[in-house]
């Protein structure tokens, strides 16, 4: 396991505790929810046969598996993550598919020394947690060949993400919520400002930078009950509810099911999201 030290010690501890185990538990629903975003990003990046890819913040390995299928036997994919809990799931999933050019690395991508340059660096919701994003992105740039591409998806403005704002509105009627993380602090919405993302990439030494809006309706669950459980268990709301009185937890759960019901579609409960799709090139 990566030692909880250095600039990202707090995040290393966080993702190697209860929250890492929780994401393993919800791996299937998270993959269903986020897969359209990663597919769009991979298509935009032009990742294909024979290429080498670094998957930053690969978590339980869903994106790494998709990348490995794209690059095929003549390519290579390395999934890197600080969470040993989530990487154990990733390794188990990869073992079930023979012949994939895929390996995993339990490491901090912000400080890791890369053995060989790659064609692409990719991330789906894995780069917003660096304490020093400029230095971290510069280190990812050093993992790339000249003209190598860095492509990632990150959450945009909280207010434009109903998958988050609707559950939080339900919860705040019953419990006291902590103050939102400051916009420049590591966290899911650290890159909500697209202009800040551009500045960070530029300061990290990247060129040909694009930061484009990406909006989708995300599948929170195949049933109202599944979507409500997803909403109350994952992310900051899950951490807060765990400390709330039992009766308040019950009220939030009941109202969450009511809040999810109007969004039920034939394939499940869908709520909108607003993301940034960022691309840049290593000179």
How many angstroms separate the CA atoms of 21 and 25, rounded?
A: 6
CA dist 191 to 127, 131, 176, 196, 260, Å? 9, 12, 25, 7, 27
- Which runs of consecutive H residues, i.e. helices, occur in the chain? 9-15, 18-25, 27-45, 62-71, 84-95, 133-141, 162-172, 194-203, 224-233, 235-242, 246-260
Give exposure, 19-37, as e/b (b: 16+ Cβ within 10 Å). Answer: bbebbbebbebbbbbbbeb
Domain-embedded: residue 4: no
pLDDT of 103 higher than 80: yes
pLDDT attached to residue 235: 67
Q: Domain span at residue 117?
A: 9-281
Mean pLDDT of 98-120: 95
Domain-embedded: residue 152: yes
Domain-embedded: residue 1: no
Domain-embedded: residue 3: no
pLDDT attached to residue 191: 97
CA dist 99 to 49, 65, 177, Å? 14, 11, 47
Domain-embedded: residue 262: yes
Domain-embedded: residue 2: no
Q: How many domains does the chain have?
A: 1
CATH code, domain with 107: 3.40.50.150
The total number of residues shown for the chain amounts to 283
Q: In this predicted model, what pLDDT tens digit does every residue of 140-183 receive, in sequence order?
A: 999 999 999 999 999 999 999 999 999 999 999 998 888 777 87
Domain-embedded: residue 108: yes
Domain-embedded: residue 97: yes
Pull the structure tokens for residue 6: 């250095």
| Total-model pTM | 0.94
């Amino acid at each position: 396991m990566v030692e909880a030290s250095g600039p990202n010690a707090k995040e290393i501890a966080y993702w190697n505790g209860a929250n890492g185990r929780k994401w393993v538990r919800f791996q299937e629903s998270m993959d269903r929810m986020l897969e359209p975003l990663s597919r769009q990003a991979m298509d935009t990046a032009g990742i294909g046969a024979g290429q080498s890819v670094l998957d930053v913040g690969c978590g339980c390995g869903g994106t790494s598996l998709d990348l490995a299928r794209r690059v095929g036997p003549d390519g290579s994919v390395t999934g890197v993550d600080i969470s040993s809990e989530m990487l154990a799931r990733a390794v188990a999933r990869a073992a079930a598919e023979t012949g994939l050019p895929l390996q995993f690395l339990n490491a901090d991508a912000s400080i890791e020394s890369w053995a060989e340059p790659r064609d692409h660096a990719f991330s789906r919701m894995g780069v917003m947690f660096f304490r020093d994003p400029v230095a971290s992105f510069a280190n990812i740039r050093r993992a790339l060949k000249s003209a190598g591409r860095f492509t990632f998806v990150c959450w945009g403005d909280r207010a434009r993400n109903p998958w988050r704002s609707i559950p939080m509105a339900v919860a705040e009627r019953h419990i006291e919520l902590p103050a939102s993380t400051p916009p420049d602090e590591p966290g899911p919405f650290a890159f909500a400002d697209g202009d800040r993302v551009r500045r960070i990439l530029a300061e990290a030494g990247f060129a040909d930078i694009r930061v484009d809006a990406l909006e989708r309706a995300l599948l929170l669950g195949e049933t109202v009950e599944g979507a409500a459980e997803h909403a109350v268990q994952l992310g900051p709301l899950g951490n807060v509810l765990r400390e709330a009185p039992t009766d308040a937890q019950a009220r939030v759960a009941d109202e969450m099911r009511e809040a999810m019901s109007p969004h039920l579609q034939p394939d499940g409960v869908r709520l909108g999201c607003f993301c940034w799709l960022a691309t840049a090139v290593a000179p």
